[in-house]
Chains A and B, each alone.
Chain A
């Protein structure tokens, strides 16, 4: 029987080990880079009612984290917590953001979509690819 043995060069084996041991860190840095782009785009397109309010403190980027359901690594950009509005009422920021984004039945709350418009796939993907290149030391560039 014909037999063929191939030994991979040490350099390639080291690269594979580097990627394997650092994959969580690489993915985390990629999602963080994408989240920062989305965060900046959200800030630049905020409706005046939010930009001038205390609600701005509630717009946050999370740490990167692993979701047990799909073993994915994620970083979220979202409104968290409560803020005090101009009437002195303490209100949940995610609910107010949703009212701006999707509107409601009353006239004073016509929708002003700003979150969905901020998720520009090309810009986010480019930032993630740049982060991948940095975090992997260029190993994954090709």
Chain B
């Protein structure tokens, strides 16, 4: 999954510039960035006594000292093009970190994974 996500995020650009991203943690210094991590796995499907598929829920955290909306629009677009489905009920509201001056919002996406 992480390889798939990294391939997708590699192509993410906002206003002509790429947005740095990392798995779980990124040491930012004021620039906007995205982290991603698995939130949970759920709803497994079985057939003939073996696992057929399940749903991955992934968090995509946007950190930005300014307007994060263009990043969110680009992120949502590129993820949905690749089969991810936004989960508003698992996503966060707006947060602000007074010490780092980062605005932070978590967007959760579901991805159906099929066993080969």
Report which A residues bind B (CB closer than 8 A). Answer: 98, 101-107, 110-111, 113, 116-117
A111 close to B59 (CB less than 8 A): yes
Cα separation A136 to B40 with both chains bound (whole Å): 36
Interface SS, B side: strand
A21 CB, nearest partner CB in chain B, Å: 33
B40 close to A113 (CB less than 8 A): yes
Given A113-B39, A116-B40, A117-B40, A101 and B100 contact (CB-CB distance below 8 Å): no
Cα separation A105 to B100 with both chains bound (whole Å): 8
B99 CB, nearest partner CB in chain A, Å: 8
B97 close to A111 (CB less than 8 A): no
Cα separation A20 to B99 with both chains bound (whole Å): 54
Cα separation A88 to B108 with both chains bound (whole Å): 34
Given A104-B97, A105-B104, A98 and B24 contact (CB-CB distance below 8 Å): no
Given A111-B37, A116-B40, A106 and B92 contact (CB-CB distance below 8 Å): no
A98 close to B95 (CB less than 8 A): yes
Cα separation A106 to B100 with both chains bound (whole Å): 8
A105 close to B90 (CB less than 8 A): no
Neighbouring B residues of A110 by C-beta, 8 Å: 24-25
Neighbouring B residues of A102 by C-beta, 8 Å: 59, 61, 92, 95, 104, 106
Neighbouring B residues of A117 by C-beta, 8 Å: 39-40
Cα separation A1 to B14 with both chains bound (whole Å): 72
Cα separation A67 to B53 with both chains bound (whole Å): 38
B21 in the interface (beta carbon within 8 A): no
A-B residue pairs, 7 tightest by C-beta: A102-B106, A102-B92, A105-B102, A105-B100, A105-B63, A113-B39, A116-B90
- In the assembled complex, 24 residue pairs joining A and B whose CB atoms fall closer than 8 Å, in A order, are A98-B93, A98-B95, A101-B92, A102-B92, A102-B95, A102-B104, A102-B106, A103-B35, A103-B61, A103-B104, A103-B106, A104-B95, A105-B28, A105-B63, A106-B97, A107-B25, A111-B59, A113-B39, A113-B40, A116-B39, A116-B40, A116-B90, A117-B39, A117-B40
